[in-house]
Amino acid sequence: MQKDIFIGEVQSGHYDGQKIELKGWVNRSRGSKKIWFIVLRDSTGRIQCVAKKDTVGEDIFDALRGALIESSLIIRGIVNVDERSEGGHELVIESAEVVGPVNPESPFPITESAMENADGGETEFLLDNRHLYLRTGRMTQMLKIRSSVFGAIHSYFRDRDFTEYQAPCFVAGAVEGGSTLFEVPYFGRKAYLTQSWQLYAEAAMPALERLYTIAPSFRAEKSRTRRHLTEFWHAEMEIAWGGNSEVMQHGENLVRHISRTLIDERESELSNLGRDLDLIARYADNPYPRMRYDEAIETLQGMGVAVEWGQDLDYSKEKVLTQDFEVPHFLTHYPKIAKPFYHRPDPDDPKYVLCHDLLAPEGYGEIIGGGERTWSEKEILERIDEENTPREPYEFYIDVRRYGGVPHGGFGLGVDRVCSWLSGADHIREVIPFPRDSRRVTP
Ligand code: ATP
Ligand code: MG
């Protein structure tokens, strides 16, 4: 039962005056005993369809009248240009059939008023019914924007000869610190869900030199925030023979490429969501300034924020720091004590590490974390011991340095965070179909 014609094409004027067949779902309906209007929706848009009892006959007319919201239909009819209809077209029904009816005793539960209150009192209800909420306009638009973001990441790396590479999800050691590790029973032993692809990417760096992935990462984030999921999508890259500045340049170019792709592919979805396209164009067209950690601390202290040198900057600080940013900014050269062992100490001043975070404006905060890796055997052993990290789970990682180590580095970009920022979402869960947080693994 193939589908040949999509509503979006009809609304673009490709079938004016023609007899066509549409397949879709009832979005709204109303009418009288003689004439019945159905707004049909599919994945590409909506169109008003009109049935007259005299034309379609009593059986079809009654079936259409009985088709509740979200019933699936096949409709045949003539496309009329009609200025007053949504999208400028209307379908005059000649025949129709109900494919999948909806039981009147359990009508589609997602009502317009529940959706208007999506971020208020109805939040939990809509999350419980996430599988149905996905069909509503807002989620559909978010998912299309998300798809373009994924596509842009793939095209950025593939056009530059990066190899896509996969790492295991079950691992033995932490990348980002023990407090957010998910422990999994593993045949009498303990395993963990991966927090990042990075360590395994470094292992393949001498083989592939330029590699990337888009994969889920898992972090047991106990506090629920607007920017953390327990399962999020992580775009990561690693390059051989490159340092902090080359990696940063890729991060900047990638985020600008994603912004440009959204303008090219998702203008109408962004506009429907109320997003200002000039902002996205600004993120696509302008360079992203670099600022050292020390300068950020001074700026914050100058603004009266209580922050001490050596602290990692949490969201409360990022938010104040970024409030006047017009484009994303890089923060570089964090103190060594604030970062994990794999960050390379700066040879010019080993109090600092050669790293960067990219902070998005409009209050969205960190979207990328990256930097140069500690790449000699001597330095990595010093750093691991300094942090009292057990060596054993990292033996494979240390081996990368024992056999022809080279300068290298990479970054991780939070794909959901980028979707959230560029679509102007209020909450990260708005941009992922089935969000996971500390309280929810269903549906
Ligand atoms: P944060 O301080 O915001 O929790 P992080 O410094 O722990 O983030 P990194 O380890 O640097 O994050 O991970 C790289 C990127 O992955 C981050 O810049 C962010 O965009 C994204 N990210 C990290 N944790 C999460 C999460 N729990 N949910 C969604 N995205 C995340
Ligand atoms: Mg980080």
- CATH 2.40.50.140 maps onto the chain at 7-100
359 touches 369 (CB < 8 A):
no
Residues composing the chain: 443
Q: Where are the beta strands (DSSP E) in 253-321?
A: 290-292
- The reported pLDDT for the residue numbered 136 is 86
357 touches 252 (CB < 8 A):
no
Residue identifier of the C-alpha nearest atom 24 of ligand 1: 228
Give the C-alpha separation, 331 to 366, whole Å. 10
Q: 414 CA to middle of ligand 1, Å?
A: 6
| CB-ligand 1 contact for 435 (6 Å cutoff) | no
Q: 225 CA to middle of ligand 2, Å?
A: 16
- Which ligand 1 atom is the nearest neighbour of the CA of 229? 28
Task: Indicate which ligand has the atom closest to the C-alpha of 438.
Answer: 1
> Residue 343 phi/psi, 5° resolution?
-75, 135
Number of C-beta neighbours around residue 57 at 10 A: 11
Find the helix or strand (DSSP H, E) in which 239 lies: strand 231-240
> Residue 36 phi/psi, 5° resolution?
-130, 130
* Residue 247, helix vs strand vs coil: helix
Residues, beta carbon < 5 Å, ion ligand 2 = 369
Nearest one of 393, 391, 392, 372 to 383, comparing CA atoms: 391
How do strand 170-171 and strand 45-52 relate by DSSP bridges? unpaired
Instruction: Find tokens 């969501």 and name the residue.
Output: 273
Alpha carbon dihedral 417, 151, 432, 185, in 10-degree steps, equals -90
- The reported pLDDT for the residue numbered 178 is 79
- Which ligand 1 atom is the nearest neighbour of the CA of 415? 20
Predicted TM-score (pTM) of the model is: 0.96
Sign of CA dihedral 84, 89, 94, 99: negative
**In testing the pocket of ligand 1, which one of 195, 228, 332, 358 has its CB within 8 Å of the most ligand atoms?**
228
| CB-ligand 1 contact for 176 (6 Å cutoff) | yes
Q: What is the pLDDT of residues 327-365, one digit of tens each?
A: 999 999 999 999 999 999 999 999 999 999 999 999 999
Residue identifier of the C-alpha nearest atom 12 of ligand 1: 369
| CB-ligand 1 contact for 232 (6 Å cutoff) | yes
- The reported pLDDT for the residue numbered 328 is 98
* Residue 39, helix vs strand vs coil: strand
| CB-ligand 1 contact for 416 (6 Å cutoff) | yes
Q: 235 CA to middle of ligand 2, Å?
A: 13
For the purposes of burial, counting CB atoms within 10 Å of the CB of 300, is it exposed (0-12), middle (13-18) or buried (19 or more)?
Answer: middle
* Residue 412, helix vs strand vs coil: strand
CATH superfamily of 7-100: Nucleic acid-binding proteins (2.40.50.140)
- CATH 3.30.930.10 maps onto the chain at 132-431
Q: For residue 140, give both structure tokens.
A: 């559909």
Q: Where are the beta strands (DSSP E) in 67-209?
A: 72-81, 89-100, 163-164, 170-171, 183-186, 189-193
Q: 115 CA to middle of ligand 1, Å?
A: 29
* CATH number among 3.40.5.10, 1.20.120.160, 3.30.930.10, 1.10.167.10, domain 132-431: 3.30.930.10
Q: For residue 81, give both structure tokens.
A: 């240009």
266 touches 234 (CB < 8 A):
no
**pLDDT tens per residue, the chain (443 residues)?**
789 999 999 999 999 999 999 999 999 999 999 999 999 999 999 999 999 999 999 999 999 999 999 999 999 999 999 999 999 999 999 999 999 999 999 999 998 777 776 666 688 999 999 999 999 889 999 999 999 999 999 999 999 999 999 999 999 877 777 789 999 999 999 999 999 999 999 999 999 999 999 999 999 998 889 999 999 999 999 999 999 999 999 999 999 999 999 999 999 999 999 999 999 999 999 999 999 999 999 999 999 999 999 999 999 999 999 999 999 999 999 999 999 999 999 999 999 999 999 999 999 999 999 999 999 999 999 999 998 988 988 999 999 999 999 999 999 999 999 999 999 999 999 999 999 999 999 99
Q: 182 CA to middle of ligand 1, Å?
A: 15
230 touches 436 (CB < 8 A):
yes
